Amino acid sequence: MPNPPQSAGRSSRLDSQTRLLLSVNGLFVTANALSGTYLGVYIWKASNDFAKVGWFSLLNHAMMALTFWIAGNGVKEGNKMAFLRAGIFVSASFYAVVLLLGSAAQQVIYGLGMLQGAAAGLFWLSFNVVYFEMTDSDNRDRYNGLAGVVGSVVGIVVPWTSGYLISRSPGANGYRLVFAISLGIFLGGFLLSFLLRHRKTDGDYDWLLPFRYVVRRDTPWPALFGALAAQGLRESVIGVLIGLLVYVETGSELRLGQFVLLSSAVGFVSFFVAGKWLKPAWRGKGMLVGAAALALSVLPLFFGVGFGTLLAYGVLSALFMPLFVVPMTSAVFDWIGSDEESASRRVEFVVLRELALNAGRIVGMAMFISTVAATRKPAIINVLLLFAGSFPLLSWYLTRGRLRVGTEDRRKRSASAPRLKSAK
């Protein structure tokens, strides 16, 4: 069970294990940012096919969802830290395979997409369960804000560095170099993860619980599923399209790195402010403002798709993203820990959360593939971006009134919950 809240004045500070978890997360995010920012460009340059990039992402998300559901059994009934390390190891294996195959990797790109999806599923399932166990409603917003700060710092430094290395290296040598560096960072994260203590999860894994709760109207989960799916849909479409558009418009990996650097610098400040001052009582208004701003941030692209308008989009999106994603993430995990029974099924509810996100991502990629197969006219692409970018408003609508689990009620329900036991 999660650690019970102790008092109304409980500190929001993070302990050493939680800071270590942030470090492991930071290394995983760094390794992915180093190469992941350019992976879509790498596929597109070899195939000149937007749809191929979409299929790579779609299969990635589908495999991730399947991995979450299957691995949930091992995470709950076995050693979740072993699965977290497996996720890091398989991620390293993905880049090792790309390095070994070289240009031949394009021939098995869909299989590589599924391999990367399996790696992400193993890591993020274990990570999110451990994150839930190490945080509570008092410090969860702070943790999410700091995680966003780490991600933004990584975004400031790493993609620009990758772009510089790629642009200064002949042929595909730059890509091979950054893939090799990613491999090394993953191995570093793998070793660091051994310092995290294992927290035993009691009970048997309920394979069908995520599917039952999607339709249980006496719980918030039908609405939360829809809200998370809407979030995932936006993530998938925007995540693939914007980076590709920046590269297609500029023809330069270095310019793409500059784009990520500038937008991440804005995100760094914004996540820091959100993590420090965004309180549970303000989640609803903050999330509405963030969701509306994310939708409106696409509008500069209707005046022309160029580096300037794409950068305007990136900066506006980074500025307001924390107002949406911090309350959304914190609220869902607060509901998972809202009472003793729910907390005892934390693995199944984390699986449900990830199934929802990936369901949205799959739908988003299906929309993307269908659109680029029919036309690549800028006006239609902009409509797709506006449509997908507006889905956070649906997330807010479905979760309004559910963004804050009553802290005092939660303390009363959880007061008798035993502390999680740690084992080396």
Listed in sequence order, the DSSP H helices in 168-298 are 173-192, 209-214, 221-250, 253-277, 283-296
Residue 1, in any domain of the structure: no
Higher pLDDT, 59 or 101: 59
Model confidence at 353, pLDDT cuts 50, 70, 90, reads very high
Residue 333 lies in a domain: yes
Band (pLDDT 50/70/90 cuts) for residue 187 is: very high
Which residue segment(s) compose the domain that 386 sits in?
16-194+209-404
> Rounded CA gap, 409 and 400, in Å?
19
Q: Find the mean pLDDT for residues 319-339.
A: 89
Distance CA 194, CA 377 (A): 50
Q: Let me know if residue 10 belongs to a domain.
A: no
Report the range of poorest mean pLDDT among 4-18, 188-202, 393-407: 4-18
pLDDT > 70? residue 4: no
Angle (deg, nearest 10), helices 80-101 and 16-47: 30
Query: Does residue 97 lie within any of the structural domains?
Result: yes
pTM over 0.85: yes
Tokens of 138: 């008092």
Q: Residue 193 gets which letter from DSSP?
A: G
What are the start-end ranges of the H helices in 135-172? 140-167
CATH number of the domain within which 251 lies: 1.20.1250.20
Torsions phi, psi of 422, nearest 5? -105, 145
pLDDT for 420: 43
Alpha-helical segments (H) within 339-377 = 340-344, 346-374
Whether residue 416 is predicted with pLDDT greater than 60 in this model: the reply is: no
Asked, for residue 201, whether it belongs to a domain, the answer is: no
Asked if the structure places residue 131 within a domain, the reply is: yes
Q: Which amino acid is at 36?
A: G
pLDDT at 221 over 70: yes
Instruction: Decide if 203 is inside a domain.
Output: no
CB neighbours of residue 160 within 10 Å:
22
Nearest to 68 by CA among 110, 128, 111, 135: 128
Q: How many domains does the chain have?
A: 1
Reported as a single tens digit per residue, the pLDDT across 227-254 is 999 999 999 999 999 999 999 999 999 9
- The confidence score (pLDDT) of residue 371 equals 96
Q: What are 95-99's contacts with CB under 8 Å, separation 24+?
A: 95/35, 95/179, 95/180, 95/182, 95/183, 95/186, 96/183, 98/179, 99/176, 99/179, 99/180, 99/183
What is the average pLDDT score of the chain?
87
The answer, yes or no, to whether residue 411 has pLDDT greater than 60, is no
- Least confident among 290-299, 379-388, 405-414: 405-414
Q: What is the pLDDT of residue 42?
A: 87
Residue 242 in domain: yes
Please determine, for residue 266, whether its predicted confidence score (pLDDT) is greater than 50. Answer: yes
